[in-house]
Structure 1
């Protein structure tokens, strides 16, 4: 059979039992770049996202995941913009000027400490529900920033609580002085400076080597990412209760705008549906895995796990109260965000609502359904990002 005839046969719909079924040859494959290595929690979540896109699109779309092979974290923003990947696991905090409004909201996550025990172990899940709702429906400036980078927002995720992961014990105000701390957001940089430490900006992909070689004394990062990024191999001491807050600057399924606009409404809806579930999976898994990682660190690797001194805990809470007032001023002076205080005031009741919504959620699947029903399903796929 000639090649042209063979191609025509493969691309023709098959008729089975009187029903037309699209051939596999008609499916479109999108590339998804993620800066985490294969086997990490986020790489697994990315593959689950790919599976759901295929399922929700009835096989019209498939997604090929490239963990730490197509783009690293530092390359992801420009890589999505320029079409090197159709979808990317963006860490917006790595690009503070490009995504200033999104980052302002993400950095306010240390306010989770004010909710106390009622949200313990679900901090990230509450914050992401609120953040997704606010960005989709109330933050035109966020969408304008994504558009300027030729991207469309389709989901966001967070870590579990951020801790001090160090090459020596750091549990007191005095021990913090003079330390070099890898900080992944300006809120943690300000926290470090408040206690006489020096913040250092590094990609997650660079942190293991920096800690191992003494370039930094500690990495401010979540417990699961100690394993996900291999940093646990260079860690000797973990202080679990400072500085706190979650990393929420992670629009994990941002999509190239040209790619997005080339899809059908049903295909875009499928990506939003899958976006709800990966937005739920990552914070859920991070919170669930935290205890297991700390147990392994202590029992198998001999890492000392500490609690911070009472003085440092109280001083950190005082910092958070003050920093909620400082954030908007910092973003106005540094990045020209003129409505930061208004944004944070609008965001607070949304967060309070989500603290209540996630309290009784008992599974990752239930959280994904909650995100879909409350937020993602309400996004109009015919106009969003168009």
Structure 2
């Protein structure tokens, strides 16, 4: 029995009990660890409003305490820390854990499939939570349960100094992870795997010349003053970001009523997290232009190199198989099928966050069979 089926059983019971008189439950504090920057919309628009709502709806019985900015654990330490109970839940980036979350990493490395964050976010959550039993087993093996995640807007190249096309990017040290590292290597740049929280220091010390990430990071990670040049074309989007990943023991200790309240609020939390990147991109771009940052379009040669992703897709599957993932092709195919559906949803609804929340509820959270 997978973790999600265990979770579902508890939720089903909770929904029944919630309709009757709730049992008296002692108030409980829960710690949430996030390594996102202090001003991240993951906190201001998604997590903290979710926690406030839970506290109100539970009459104070569910009290989540948010520790942002890596106060408890950094990006690489969060999986082990939440697994071992240092915190009850946390933000876990799948691509920092290629061995522990090897099935999920098939999805995390499909960065070139889909560019609309609403479509990609819906498809990723549906695949992980409904259509990938082996992904679920990764989490269970680490004493975790994945309850909802987000994706970013397009990753663009943001540098301390301008450069001239393919020749100019050669030798540049670029903060990048996962599949993004492969395409930079093909361009003869040098990918450097550091968490976003270390980018400002890396730029300051010359450890990196550029950052590959969403435009929103200019403000979220305080690198606006160090970046002078943005190559304004998306390399792809990061996905399979476990924004709300919970210690399985903490989850199982929750009452059915409290589990039901948690799941009730998840679609809104996920939708607001993804919507936050969209709005933050727009704001950071406007503020960057005011500060004199150059947003430049690449030439045809650069675009052609950027589009040459087929070898990287094959490498993703091969790497997964070398780690013991027997169903890599099936995981990828499931995601692409879900992506096609969610692209239609995104085309119909645009980036309306309320409609996105409703779609997440209808297409994912309401379909969990217990």
State if a TM-score over 0.5 links the two structures.
Answer: yes
Selected match of 1:193 from 175, 185, 188: 185
Selected match of 1:255 from 225, 229, 246: 246
Task: Show the counterpart of 2:268.
Answer: 277
Indicate yes or no: 2:78 matched with 1:97.
Answer: no
Residue 59 of structure 1 and its aligned partner are, at CA, apart by 4.5
CA distance in 1, matches of 2:231, 2:200: 17
Selected match of 2:365 from 336, 359, 376: 376
Deviating more after overlay: 350-359 vs 71-80: 71-80
**CA 1:263/1:354 → structure 2, altered by over 3 Å: closer, same or farther?**
same
Asked if 2 retains the 8 angstrom alpha-carbon contact of 1:171 and 1:306, the reply is no
Deviating more after overlay: 88-97 vs 354-363: 354-363
* Structure 2: 5+ residue stretches without partners: 1-20
Asked if 2 retains the 8 angstrom alpha-carbon contact of 1:56 and 1:274, the reply is no
Matches of residues 175-214 of structure 1 in structure 2 within 5 Å? Answer: 175-185=168-178, 187-214=179-206
Per-residue displacement from partner, 1:140-179 (whole Å, max 9, x unpaired)?
1111111121110100101111010111123511112111
CA distance in 2, matches of 1:170, 1:91: 30
**CA 1:132/1:55 → structure 2, altered by over 3 Å: closer, same or farther?**
farther
Task: Show the counterpart of 1:46.
Answer: 47
Task: Show the counterpart of 2:342.
Answer: 354
Residue 33 of structure 1 and its aligned partner are, at CA, apart by 1.1
CA distance in 2, matches of 1:181, 1:156: 25
Per-residue displacement from partner, 1:176-232 (whole Å, max 9, x unpaired)?
2111111122x1110011111111110111111111211111111111122111122
CA distance in 1, matches of 2:281, 2:221: 14
Residue 88 of structure 1 and its aligned partner are, at CA, apart by 0.4
Task: Show the counterpart of 2:30.
Answer: 30
Asked if 1 retains the 8 angstrom alpha-carbon contact of 2:42 and 2:276, the reply is no
Per-residue displacement from partner, 1:6-42 (whole Å, max 9, x unpaired)?
xxxxxxxxxxxxxx8988x932221111112333211
Selected match of 1:296 from 260, 283, 287: 287
**CA 1:82/1:202 → structure 2, altered by over 3 Å: closer, same or farther?**
same
Per-residue displacement from partner, 1:349-374 (whole Å, max 9, x unpaired)?
11100100122325222211211121
- TM-score, normalised by the number of residues in structure 1: 0.85
CA distance in 2, matches of 1:372, 1:56: 19
CA distance in 1, matches of 2:57, 2:180: 38
Deviating more after overlay: 265-274 vs 176-185: 265-274
Asked if 2 retains the 8 angstrom alpha-carbon contact of 1:171 and 1:312, the reply is no
Residue 126 of structure 1 and its aligned partner are, at CA, apart by 0.7
Indicate yes or no: 2:320 matched with 1:331.
Answer: yes
Indicate yes or no: 2:83 matched with 1:81.
Answer: yes
**CA 1:296/1:171 → structure 2, altered by over 3 Å: closer, same or farther?**
farther
CA distance in 2, matches of 1:21, 1:141: 35
**CA 1:51/1:373 → structure 2, altered by over 3 Å: closer, same or farther?**
farther
Residue 288 of structure 1 and its aligned partner are, at CA, apart by 2.2
Selected match of 2:278 from 287, 290, 312: 287
Residue 259 of structure 1 and its aligned partner are, at CA, apart by 0.3
Task: Show the counterpart of 1:12.
Answer: none
Residue 330 of structure 1 and its aligned partner are, at CA, apart by 2.4
Indicate yes or no: 2:158 matched with 1:165.
Answer: yes
Tell me the secondary structure at the aligned position of residue 26 of structure 1. Answer: coil
Aligned residues: 348
Give the 4+ runs in structure 1 shifted more than 6 A.
20-23
Per-residue displacement from partner, 1:30-63 (whole Å, max 9, x unpaired)?
1111112333211212101212333554654221
Asked if 2 retains the 8 angstrom alpha-carbon contact of 1:111 and 1:320, the reply is no
CA distance in 1, matches of 2:129, 2:259: 15
**CA 1:62/1:85 → structure 2, altered by over 3 Å: closer, same or farther?**
same
Deviating more after overlay: 145-154 vs 272-281: 272-281
Per-residue displacement from partner, 1:273-303 (whole Å, max 9, x unpaired)?
222222111111211221221121121x222
Selected match of 2:331 from 343, 367, 373: 343
Indicate yes or no: 2:68 matched with 1:67.
Answer: yes
Which protein, 1 or 2, shows the higher relative CO under an 8 Å CA cutoff with sep ≥ 6? Answer: 2
Task: Show the counterpart of 2:6.
Answer: none
* Structure 1: 5+ residue stretches without partners: 1-19, 114-122
CA distance in 1, matches of 2:246, 2:160: 38
